[in-house]
């Protein structure tokens, strides 16, 4: 029973150390100290809203002013830019997963305590984690090479 509670204590400490740095930046970034930033609710006053305008008038005014009526919700204007954004998001998520897996592999090595079978499991997990990290790195490299090749054509 004592051995099991030590494992739970070590596992709790590993997770606390792994996730504690993630909570600090969120609390700091949530603060709004800049007085020069405009409050998003300042533009919602009743005198700025035309209550007599219908959706058709809004669409006509939008088209007359050069707007097509619809705005692009994506940051990308081309397929290439969209693929780059998607790949960057996948890589950002993958880096976090690889980091957590390396921590988990270290936990497996520590809890193996000289057991050859457990050490073999930890080595296999570490090997696949490194292979996954290399695939992430290779995906970004291949995407950059293809992008530069297409740009030169």
Q: What is the pTM of this model?
A: 0.51
pLDDT for the residue 146? 84
What pLDDT is recorded for position 99? 95
| The pLDDT value given to residue 111 | 93
Tell me the pLDDT of the chain averaged across its residues.
Answer: 74
pLDDT band, very low/low/confident/very high, at 105 (cuts 50, 70, 90): very high
Q: What is the mean pLDDT of residues 61-87?
A: 73
Which is nearest to 148 in space by CA: 103, 55, 84, 88? 84
Residue pair 21/103 in contact (Cβ under 8 Å)? The answer is: no
């Amino acid at each position: 029973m004592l051995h099991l509670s030590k494992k739970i204590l070590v596992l709790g400490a590993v997770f606390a150390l792994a996730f504690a740095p993630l909570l600090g930046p969120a609390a700091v970034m949530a603060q709004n100290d800049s007085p020069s930033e405009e409050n998003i609710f300042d533009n919602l006053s009743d005198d700025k809203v035309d209550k007599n305008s219908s959706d058709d008038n809004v669409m006509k005014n939008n088209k007359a002013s050069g707007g097509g009526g619809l705005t692009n919700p994506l940051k990308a204007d081309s397929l290439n830019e969209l693929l780059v954004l998607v790949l960057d998001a996948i890589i950002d998520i993958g880096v976090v997963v690889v980091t957590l897996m390396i921590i988990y592999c270290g936990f497996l090595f520590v809890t193996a305590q000289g057991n050859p079978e457990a050490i073999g499991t930890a080595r296999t997990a570490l090997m696949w984690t490194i292979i996954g990290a290399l695939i992430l790195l290779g995906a970004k490299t291949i995407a950059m090479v293809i992008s530069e090749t297409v740009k030169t054509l």
